[in-house]
Structure 1
């Protein structure tokens, strides 16, 4: 009977490394320090979310429906997984009204984009 691999130390909660592999057919044993996938360190809840997200092909409405959660909760769970995998969240930088007006004056953005940026406080691409 196989057990789920432990990825966190039960004493200090740091990441564990695999150091021994055994073939279940011929019993060959290989010892070394092996890296686990980033996904191995996700919690059970995070893995469940990733599975639902992938099955839904990234369609947030489908994730909402299947998990019975709201749009903001889906976004929050997605952000949590992104951070757990070691990536940063690329939040759009805030932009001042003066910067927006300067860009509009130079013709770098359309009047519609300028209005939207002023209303929302960020410049959308």
Structure 2
């Protein structure tokens, strides 16, 4: 994995982990997802059959520190407590990245529940 493709691959990995956490309805859609017409071509974006992922953002650690800051925005199921979903998502992302990025620390993981359905 090159430095240029690492963030895109990591974003997809994190999105897959988040979508499998109990209580998560879906990742927060971005503006492009809301405006995309039914005629748009699937697979635009990262080249893996999936469009850009708006609910997951990876940025380099603060002040050039080694690692990543991960920001996740999800919509939770109404029957769950938002705090429990946020904690479960954070834990799942931290565990996944610790296993995936051995030797490269994750600076922080922030989870925001932006809505409920």
TM-score range, shorter chain: under 0.3
* TM-score of the pair, normalised by structure 2: 0.22
Q: TM-score, normalised to structure 1's length?
A: 0.21
Greater strand share, structure number: 2
* Structure number with bigger Rg: 1
Structure with greater helix share of residues: 1
